[in-house]
Amino acid sequence: MHLYKVFISSVQKEFAKEREALFQHFRKDALLSGFFEPALFEKLPAHKLAPNEVYLDKVKQSDIFLVILGQEYGYEDENGKSPTEQEFDHARLHHIDCLAFIKGNNRLERNEKEKVFIRKVQDSLSYKRFETTEELINEVNSACVAFLKEKGLIQLTSFDESFHTTADISVLDPQKIDHFIGIARAKRGFPLPKGTEPEIVLGHLNMILGNKIANSALLAFARQPQQFFPTAITKCAHFHGLEVAKPIPDHKVFHGDVFEQVDQAVDFVLSKISVSVGTRDASNQAPIHYEIPRASVAEAIVNAVAHRDYTSKGSVQVMLFPNRLEVSNPGRLVPELSIAQLKSEHASYPTNPKLAECLYQVGYIERFGTGTGEIFRLSKEEGLYEPFIDLEEGFKVIIWRPSAQMSQIPDKYRTSTGQVSRQATGQAPLEITENEDLRSNDQITEYVGDHVTGQATGQVEEAIRRVLLVLFKEMKGSEIQDSLQLKHREYFRDNYLIPSIEAGYVSMTIPDKPNSPNQKYKLTRKGLTLKKKLERKP
């Protein structure tokens, strides 16, 4: 049987203990010993060639290059490059699979050249951090098992593809499945018509086997997905400072299926960031422009929900700060991809393929392998700082807001060159403070509901302003919602439409039949007066 050769690279003196422990683990572990053969420079037989020729030749002959990075850069040759970096470059040159493990966090004091080397590695491939030798062995073990699975040498059924041991089709909501069909037919030409039996739909999606249904079906169509997966939730928080700190001005936990979570989380972010409303020169619908493109926000959140590790006790987290949006999930970057590849269109390796297929069918994913690249492209077009992907704990995407200043950006969020470039767009960088575009000297102070006080009052006022600026003549609720690029109907109704009506700025055209399918909304005289002020009309 073929043994995969693993070359272990690091500063020898700094990691003498870890190198020996890894070598012995590969030799003695019941699983790994049957597939891998480790190599350490200090254990190689004497050779007539120069040391650098020996280790570079050994790297070239390897199937996997495993590098450990820490505080020291190590011995430097006449060109100022350490053996470890030479080995890494040689492995990349010969397209050898690389695994990287970094000791400590960004607060650890390191040699300056080691810092630069670490940034170079981080920009090139996925990596894991560790503190102890035991943690290193566990991370290496997980990476090697993933390698074997990808090679088809061991069979491990993923969470997404596994069938739940107790749940059956009765826990699914037929209306959700029918709603999915309607959208998927319009978006992707889904072949099954509305009204198709749920068993047939799940069969088409490969989500059912006899009486058992796949975990992915529960996440997409169950009445209460959290009954089966309590941590399959999305937490959203809005902070006034640049770091996580209490009090938190607004915090929401979204439950429900994956589609509901995505919609609510995206709408949460859009309600907190600045927006400008254009003129109706081209159509009756005034164009909306958010300071971070809606597509970027949606891509980051969809990516987190689609690719997270659902076996983890962690959850998807969406955190908005004055200078950035952070979207993180308990997942990892697959070994086949590097951070550099994520910045453009790339091959797709979905962690949860069945779930990703559902999201694709209803248009949440446009094309596989384009999501993160789209975030980078849109940020460049908007003149924003380049986004950052952080793999320290799970998978985190950081999108910079127009108000971000270089002095506010920590070193760890800068590129391998030590800079975070503001993309050139031919125009001055935007410097929009939070909700600046819709602020006015005319405050909406009349509406203070039973549960709306303090900071929440300001949020309601902002939502009302947005409704007033897009509402034109008589419009259906769905038309107002679409104008604001919001997707979750209940979120829009509860946070935008109802406050506008209760404040007296918007009225129903059929007030005695509030749920009529012909119901439309219009501005009251009070609403028209304020709208003129907001639009700065005389």
Per residue in 336-382, pLDDT tens?
A: 777 888 887 777 778 899 999 999 999 998 766 677 889 999 999 99
C-alpha to C-alpha distance for 373 and 344, rounded to whole angstroms: 4
Q: Is the model more confident about 523 or about 277? A: 523
Task: Give residue for tokens 């992707």.
Answer: 188
Exposed, middle or buried: residue 518 (CB in 10 Å: 0-12, 13-18, 19+)? Answer: exposed
C-alpha to C-alpha distance for 225 and 257, rounded to whole angstroms: 6
In CATH, the architecture of 440-534 is Orthogonal Bundle (1.10)
Instruction: Tell me what the mean pLDDT of segment 70-90 comes to.
Output: 94
Q: Is the model more confident about 178 or about 458? A: 178
Distances (CA, A) of 196 to 101, 119, 128, 394, 504: 49, 52, 45, 39, 44
pLDDT at 367: 66
pLDDT at 98: 93
pLDDT tens digit sequence for 363-373:
998 766 677 88
The class that CATH gives domain 234-413 is alpha beta
Exposed, middle or buried: residue 445 (CB in 10 Å: 0-12, 13-18, 19+)? Answer: exposed
- Judged against a pLDDT cut of 60, whether residue 443 lies above it is answered with no
Average pLDDT, the chain: 86
CATH 3.30.565.60 domain residues, the chain: 234-413
CATH 1.10.10.10 domain residues, the chain: 440-534
Average the pLDDT over each of 261-275, 330-344, 395-409 and give the range with the smallest value: 330-344
**Residue 459: pLDDT band with limits 50, 70, 90:** low
Percentage above 90 pLDDT, the chain: 64
Exposed, middle or buried: residue 80 (CB in 10 Å: 0-12, 13-18, 19+)? Answer: exposed
Tokens for 528?
Answer: 């028209």
pLDDT at 46: 60
pLDDT at 452: 34
pLDDT at 282: 57
Amino acid at 247: P
Q: End-to-end CA distance of the chain, in Å? A: 83
C-alpha to C-alpha distance for 384 and 380, rounded to whole angstroms: 6
Q: How many CA atoms, within 13 angstroms, populate the side-chain half-sphere of residue 396?
A: 18
User: Please, what sign has the CA dihedral across residues 258, 259, 265, 269?
Assistant: positive
pLDDT at 427: 37
pLDDT at 448: 32
**Residue 285: pLDDT band with limits 50, 70, 90:** low
Distances (CA, A) of 417 to 74, 111, 372, 376, 505: 21, 16, 21, 17, 52
Amino acid at 362: V
Average the pLDDT over each of 30-44, 315-329, 415-429 and give the range with the smallest value: 415-429
- How many of the other CB atoms lie within 10 Å of CB of 222? 23
Q: Is the model more confident about 204 or about 403? A: 204
φ, ψ (nearest 5 deg) of residue 26: -60, -35
Element (H, E) at 525: helix 525-534
Q: Which residues fall within 8 angstroms of residue 177, CB to CB, at 6 or more apart?
A: 198, 201, 202, 221
Instruction: Tell me what the mean pLDDT of segment 241-256 comes to.
Output: 90
**Contact indicator for 463, 495 with CB cutoff of 8 Å:** yes
Instruction: List own/partner pairs for 495-501 with CB under 8 A and 24 or more apart.
Output: 495/267, 495/271, 495/459, 495/460, 495/463, 496/463, 496/464, 496/466, 496/467, 497/467, 497/521, 499/447, 499/449, 499/452, 499/460, 499/463, 499/464, 500/463, 500/464, 500/467, 500/468, 500/527
- Judged against a pLDDT cut of 60, whether residue 447 lies above it is answered with no
**Residue 153: pLDDT band with limits 50, 70, 90:** confident
Average the pLDDT over each of 101-105, 195-199, 349-353 and give the range with the smallest value: 349-353
pLDDT tens digit sequence for 58-68:
999 999 999 99
pLDDT at 440: 37
Instruction: Tell me what the mean pLDDT of segment 309-327 comes to.
Output: 94
Task: Look at the domain 4-150 and name its fold.
Answer: Rossmann fold (3.40.50)
pLDDT at 51: 65
Exposed, middle or buried: residue 300 (CB in 10 Å: 0-12, 13-18, 19+)? Answer: buried
Instruction: Tell me what the mean pLDDT of segment 77-92 comes to.
Output: 94
Kindly state the DSSP code that residue 368 receives in the 8-state scheme.
T
- How many of the other CB atoms lie within 10 Å of CB of 4? 18
The 3-state DSSP class for residue 389 equals strand
pLDDT at 273: 93
pLDDT at 368: 62
